């Protein structure tokens, strides 16, 4: 799986946010546009295969006009829709 498939889902609008992701984003003042921008310009830092529900991907980057990095955790559903599971700030 490459970052290209993840980016294509964003560009084509084939993604959804979990309620948990939206709540985390609200707490950290992260917008949906921030998430999309990080996926488009960020780096795939992990592919996690230990979840019976499916492989998860972690993308990290710095949203435009923010001074912190975020990580976006996502997975693809059987329908090929990408689900954004959670989003959080990275503390260095």
Residue ranges making up the domain that contains 80: 3-89
Report field, pTM of the whole predicted structure over 0.75: yes
pLDDT above 70 for 77: yes
pLDDT above 80 for 69: yes
Here the CATH number for the domain that contains residue 51 is 3.30.2310.40
Residue 91, pLDDT score: 84
Provide the 10 A C-beta neighbour count for residue 54. 12
Average pLDDT on 58-80 reads: 96
Structure tokens at 76: 């693809």
DSSP SS3 for 72: strand
Residue 1, pLDDT score: 60
User: How do residues 32-68 score in pLDDT, each as one tens digit?
Assistant: 999 999 999 999 999 999 989 999 999 999 999 999 9
CB 81 within 8 A of CB 12: no
DSSP SS3 for 89: strand
Residue with tokens 């230990």: 50
Half-sphere exposure of residue 64: CA atoms within 13 angstroms, side-chain side: 8
Residue 2, pLDDT score: 84
Q: State how many domains the chain has.
A: 1
């Amino acid at each position: 799986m490459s970052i290209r498939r993840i980016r294509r889902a964003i560009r084509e609008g084939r993604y959804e946010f979990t309620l948990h992701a939206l709540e985390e984003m609200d707490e950290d003042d992260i917008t949906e546009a921030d998430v999309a921008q990080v996926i488009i310009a960020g780096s795939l830092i992990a592919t996690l295969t230990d979840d019976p529900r499916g492989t998860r991907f972690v993308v990290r980057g710095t949203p435009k006009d923010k001074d912190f990095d975020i990580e976006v955790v996502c997975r693809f559903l059987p329908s090929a829709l990408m689900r954004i599971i959670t989003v959080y700030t990275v503390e260095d």
